A and B are shown apart, each in its own frame.
Chain A
Amino acid sequence: MSDAKCFTRLKASEIKTELETLVESKKANGTHRLTVRRQILKKIIANINLNNSDMVHLFPEVVDTVLTEPYASDLACKKMCYKYFEAFGAARPEGTLMCLPSMLRELTGTGDAYARSLILRCLAGIPLKQVAELLAEPIRGLISDEDPLVRKTACFAISKLYDCDAKLAARHNLIGLLNDRLYDENSHVVASALASLSEITEKNNTMKLVVNDSHARNLLTVLHRCNEWSQCYIISALTAYVPQLADDALFVVEKLVPLLRHANTAIVLNALKCIIYLSNYVEDITDAMPVLPKRLGNAMVSLIAKQPELQFLALRNVILVLLSKPHLLDLDVKMFFCKYDDTLYVKDTKLEIIYLLANAHNLKIVLKELEEYATEVDVTMARKAVRAIGNLAIKLPRGANACVQLILDLVAVDLPHITQEAVVVFKNVLRKYPREFDSAIQTFIKYTDLAVTALPSDANPFVNHHAPEADPDAVAAIVWILGQYCATIDGAVTILDRVTRDFLTDTIDVQLITLTAVTKVFLQLPSKDSEALLIARLKLATEEVDNPDLRERGFFYWRLLSSFPQDASYANAKQIVMNKLPVISTDSDKLDVAILEELELNIGTLASIYLKPVKQVFRLARTRILPQSACLVRKPRPVANDQHDALTRKISPINNPDLRANLELHGSYAGRAGSRDDFSRSDDDFVESFRETSMSSSSSLGLNKGIAAIGNVNRSLTRTGSMIGRKLTLKKN
């Protein structure tokens, strides 16, 4: 019989009439009554599912069902009535309390264990303080019931009661009851008590789950005697165990390693989390267990053959471990090569892993693979691949040549999106190796038009209708290169003029960078053309732009160049504008240790996919840190906070822009934010927006220091300068 027809919206009164006719009908026998009653209950449940709140008016009828035979002893009827109580019990306290005595009687009776566990599950699920109050006493008996099923249900019931009324739970020492269950003879009950306890301690900041030595050993023996979910709870609970001796930690790890072979992925990942956690308490775990990295690596790789969602989770956690404990994962980069059918998010994550795993030995095959992605049809993927190649150039100085060569080859393919991306990464490469690739610059400049392709060309405004949108990042990069390296580029002034022709409609980032670039060009190649270009752009910036940051920047350069009329070669201005740029780097060790440590303790959780400090996503969550112990091995904190670091932003290898932003907030950078004037803040906006669009490590971040330095040197100038500036403009007009 199909139940689908129950899914019609009914009014409570309609069901009432139906029930009344059933009661009045004389000829119906017992079984018929039961079938009809069941059918009516089904309709009610279906209507609850349809969010029909009218059903709440049927409370008396449902109570009646539970209290009268033969329905009261019919399991099917009962289950549906309990469902109803869970849904509406809290809304109708009087009604609930009415049927409570008989339910409690059955609950504490000696009847069938399953029936009792059903009642317990239902009653504890009603979020009503009165019900919790009445349950608090009987639950003491139920949690030591002779049937393990009832004990198990009682464990979770306590968690529900705590959720409903924490004070009540404290008054009746329900937590203590749960603690006692940790020594239960039935392993399922132990696991349920642990699950319930960790649920409770997570909500309460004053309580903490502590697993001591003997208990940990006990849990390990129990572990093999329960089902897969119970195993999950037990392994999770083991992360609350704080070993006092390295040998104790090793002992647990050895017991957990076999679990890496479990078919249930949740167990594998939990075991990985626990092993990684315990490795903090052993001086050098790979010394004691040389096979560990291989085992962990294999365990993770085998998850890649699963469904995309699971793959993604596994890969995300691989990234996490690679960032915090790369020596514990022995992985072959080839395993992470993308497959044609992979979903985009899987490809994206794999690409990050490829980047992290790339080293001098495997660079050749990695580049070959990245080249394959870069020429893929999917534009997003292609862009990311190009970016990854550029980032590798910065990460591996010895491979930089090969990377740049590949970028040049890719640019020659002549596809706008590749060229745009290539320009951006090439700029980063130049920032890292300022003078090594001068010869390549000329090649790049050939493709400027492609990079800024969406600027409609005057000659034929219709040709480009297929062209992708102009990429402001690419335009900004090309403008920066033109400004910085104008001396090595033929016809730099003309090109710069053409590229920045639409100055007024460009994005603010491009506009700011344009001002710097024209100034640089003017200082390095003083000529009539460059002067004309400079004046044209400065004039636009100071007179026709509403953005105060941009206007101020215009004034600033103007003043800078006109402040020292006696200095014909602009030595002062040159020193300021052409200041030596700091070298960018990709040191991953510079990530905040505390945040990595926390993420590491959250392997497998949601935080591991967002790759953000837990507090940022889950405000109420507790910050987890490695508990102190005699054998805790702390990673040395990176040398941070010296003058240099305070100004340079480190590039993190993580491709998630949010995380990078967060990490930096927590890093040394935060302290500096307040001390900056408007001027450098606009650069920050530039950097921020840049960062959001770039996949990884956009080295544009490094740009900041140069500009910030200018900001610092000239702070005095800017402060007193505004008056002069105004006069200057007045004169020009």
Chain B
Amino acid sequence: MQKFFRKLLANFKEYITLVVLLLISLFLLSINNKPGVERFRAISFGTFAYITSTVHSITNIFKNDSETAKLRLENAELMLEVNKLRNYALQNEHLRKMLEMKDTLTYYLLAADVISKLTSKIEGNFIINVGSKHGVEVGMPVINEQGLVGIVIGVAASFSSVRTLENISLNAAVTNQRSGINGILSWNGQRHVIKNIPTTFDMQIGDRIETSEFSTILPPAIPVGIIVEKETEVSGLLSYIYVKPFADVKSVKNLFVVRFVKNIQIDTLETNLLKRIK
């Protein structure tokens, strides 16, 4: 029996090794969300990011970015401000008085550089050079001076990983700024699309799309893109709305993390509401 197993092992050692290694990798995939593993990942990715950051700074040694960075920050703040003003113009005065939410909404921007891009056609992820010690938290949106770029999905001490708009795993609740119609924006590997919008809904080419108040991950009123095409499904009942993002995700280098975690705000509001009811 022992001889048989020894022979089996000798003859099929490559296959046995392959199966064992594949099982280990599948096991690792299944435990990714455990807190211990997440911490381990954050530490190792943060440590390695120091090296990539050094390489990045060497490649950018001849660029003096301080002035540009300042202007970009100003641009990004102005972009958010302009969008907010557009909203004010479009909103009903009465509703604004009732809600008084957007009036009090302030975004704190934290400048960051992309130090590594891990992009494929369907999965876009960046590593940026700000992390938990700068106040970055998982779930914070990432923008540039043009609009939304992505969302923070992992944080180490000095670095964070960002899931970009060009990632099929990122589905964002968005709204049409003019008509107020909501939908879910996703990346299909080629284009950004809002699926399953009834054809009777008011979505016109040229309308601006921004993040929705219904989003559980993103703060409202961050510009996302513009409607460029409307396609009706075979049944004729639903439309696919194609959106061109304002931010060019492929070429983005300098970013801003919006220090705002939607869930905390919602939680606070809900808690306050419950207190009032009681």
Question: Do the two chains bind?
Answer: no
Question: A residues engaging B (CB < 8 A)?
Answer: none
